[in-house]
Amino acid sequence: MPTFASADQIRDAFSRAMSAMYKTEVPQYGTLLDLVADINRATLEQDAALRGELEAGDELRRLDVERHGAIRLGTAQELADMRRIFRVMGMFPVGYYDLSVAGVPVHATAFRPVSDAALRNNPFRVFTSLLRLELIADAALRAQAEAILARRAIFTPRALELTALAEEAGGLTEAQAVEFVQEVTQTFRWHSEATVSHATYRQLHGAHRLVADVVSFKGPHINHLTPRTLDIDAAQAEMPRRGIAAKEVVEGPPRRKHAILLRQTSFKALEEPIVFAEDGADGSHTARFGEIEQRGMALTRAGRALYDQLLAGVRSMQGAGSASADYSERLAAAFQAFPDDLDQLRERGLAFFRWRVLDADGLARVAASGAAFDLQALRAQGLVAASPIVYEDFLPVSAAGIFQSNLGGAEQKSYAANAAQEAFEAALGAPVADEIALYEQSQQASVDAVRAQYAAVLNR
């Protein structure tokens, strides 16, 4: 039996290769990494409680390598192959995001690790959108876009070969894994030559800027890579000081004592020179940008419903788009209704928690006394503790805000479309996992482990 590189190892190497590549392609990304590292260091120095919480959950280790990326694919075949490739790295499709409601003609999933252990090692995630050509109204243009996409091959032959090999053999050797990472990274490179003529580009762009971005190039260039900060407000304030033009508002929930879900900010996409291969004309294209995120705790279905309701309330106010001046005050005011106390969040079933034993001897004594297993009582005695589970996914309203901030002010399309999860899954060749179910399992597994330790005393 050959020894295989682990999926975690391959994913870790891939995320590092992508980061190195993007740093050379978009130097501002390097500036963002430095900025985030500085802020994380300062935050951990100043906030001993946060440091303790992260250490207890073994969350500190992954912080420096943690990031997400985003790509946009053109065809069902591309998405299906992408799924096979990410699977080799232990990344699986989680969640369905319909962006058409926000005027963006794509739907998406996030490829990410799902087990607690894999997430601790390296939680690299890729937000992967699929263009919905059926939303292009002009039938002739739609057919042309389809024909252009049908001609391209976004993966190197060797990347597909190694993927097939991994599927047959059940893994890749270390040498194959190194080659696999190199080959797969090629797919996400920037190409400054558009494959179409300037006229075609303009037509595609007229349908939607994203249509041009997906259809006009050889492959799905990575359009951003996002490091995780522990204090996004500090990062937002620091961006202009380091010469980076930040987006006006931070997407997601307001600042709180105990962060929930995901808060994100970005800098606007760069205008980059391109050449149109067909006619040699010069032009420019904006697609690639930088983003920073702060992750908070995962919410239960009830917690998420409350979040969605409060956010929708703020956003639907007359003339109160997220760009308006008092947006953050109104957001903070609305979220007064969302408890910001860990005990309340847990007791009201709004957030997910991971349980762990603090005092094994104490636990054994209670178990030996014959008392029935009672998590709340054990917690009250300081024998077990619960820490929030990190939210590993994305938020459709925020994603739409990120897409929009990169589409240039005036562009605002609307589609009469709706979610098409079944069509997306048919293209993917598999169902997407329900992210809430994953957090439920993770919480339950932690409770089961504490219970097993408790029960083990009785069996000794």
What residues line the site for ligand OOG (CB under 6 A)? 70, 72, 127, 129, 223, 264, 291, 394, 398-399, 402-403
Tell me the backbone φ, ψ of residue 106, rounded to 5 degrees: -140, 160
Between CA 350 and CA 64 the distance in angstroms is: 29
* Other Cβ atoms within 10 Å of 191 Cβ, number: 14
| 349: CB partners within 8 A, 6+ apart | 300, 302, 303
Q: What's the start-to-end Cα distance of the chain, in Å?
A: 38
3-state secondary structure string across 201-251: HHHHHHHCHHHHHHHCCCCCCCCEEEEECCCHHHHHHHHHHCCCCECCCCE
- Minimum CB separation from ligand OOG for residue 40, in Å? 19
Concatenated DSSP letters of 37-89: HHHHHHHHHH-HHHHHHHHHTT-HHHHTT-EEEEEEE-SHHHHHHHHHHHHHT
131/214 Cα distance (integer angstroms): 7
Which x/- pattern over 293-312 shows residues binding Ni ion (rule: CB under 5 A)?
Answer: --------------------
Q: Nearest-CA neighbor of 446 among 367, 346, 303?
A: 346
Determine the number of helices (DSSP H) and then strands (DSSP E) in the chain. Answer: 20, 12
Residue 39: name its binding partner from ligand OOG, Ni ion, none (Cβ under 5 to 8 Å by kind). Answer: none
Percent helix, percent strand, percent coil in the chain, to nearest 5? 50, 15, 30
* Residue placing its CB nearer to ligand OOG in the complex, 236 or 398: 398
DSSP 170: S
Q: Which stretch binds Ni ion (CB under 5 A): 82-90, 288-296, 306-314, 341-349?
A: 288-296
15 interacts with, out of Ni ion, ligand OOG, none, CB within 5 to 8 A per kind: none
Q: Pick between residue 235 and residue 399 the one whose CB is nearest to ligand OOG.
A: 399
Which CB atom, from 403 or from 439, has the smaller least distance to ligand OOG?
403
By CB under 5 A, which span of 32-40, 65-73, 184-192, 438-446 interacts with Ni ion?
A: 65-73
Q: Which is nearer to Ni ion, 183 or 392 (CB)?
A: 392
Residue closer to Ni ion by CB (options 133, 225) is 225
* Count of residues that interact with Ni ion, criterion CB under 5 A: 3
Tokens of 327: 């947006």
| Binding residues among 167-186 for Ni ion as defined by CB under 5 A | none
DSSP label at residue 135: G
CB of residue 248 vs ligand OOG: minimum separation in angstroms? Answer: 16
Nearer to ligand OOG, 72 or 247 (CB): 72
| Closer by beta carbon to ligand OOG, 70 or else 260 | 70
208 interface partner picked from ligand OOG, Ni ion, none, CB below 5 to 8 A per type: none
Strand partners, 193: 275
**Of 37-45, 58-66, 284-292, 315-323, which part binds Ni ion (CB under 5 A)?**
284-292
Closest distance to ligand OOG from the beta carbon of 377 (Å): 41
Give 99 or 145: the residue with its C-beta nearer to ligand OOG. Answer: 99
Binding residues among 212-241 for Ni ion as defined by CB under 5 A: 226
Is residue 132 exposed (0-12), middle (13-18) or buried (19+ Cβ within 10 Å)?
Answer: buried
Nearest residue (CB) to ligand OOG, 15 versus 446:
15
Residue closest to ligand OOG (Cβ):
399
Question: Shortest Cβ distance from residue 269 to Ni ion (Å)?
Answer: 12
* Residue 135 interaction partner, one of ligand OOG, Ni ion, none, beta carbon < 5-8 Å per kind: none
Whole-angstrom Cα distance, residue 139 to residue 192?
28
Q: How far, in Å, are 70, 225, 232, 234 from residue 237 at the CA level?
A: 24, 20, 9, 5
**What minimum distance in Å lies between the beta carbon of 281 and ligand OOG?**
26
What is Dmax (Cα atoms) for the chain? 83
Task: For the CB of residue 399, give the shortest distance to Ni ion in the complex, in Å.
Answer: 7
In the complex, the smallest distance separating the C-beta of residue 402 from Ni ion, rounded to whole angstroms, is: 6
Q: How far is the CB of 167 from ligand OOG (least distance, A)?
A: 28
Q: In terms of CB distance, is 334 or 395 closer to ligand OOG? A: 395
Binding mask 373-412 for Ni ion (x = CB under 5 A): ----------------------------------------
Closest CA to 243 of 210, 264, 211, 267: 267
Angle ∠(15,18,19) on CA atoms, nearest 5: 85
Q: Which single residue brings its beta carbon nearest to Ni ion?
A: 291
- Interface residue list for Ni ion (CB under 5 A): 70, 226, 291
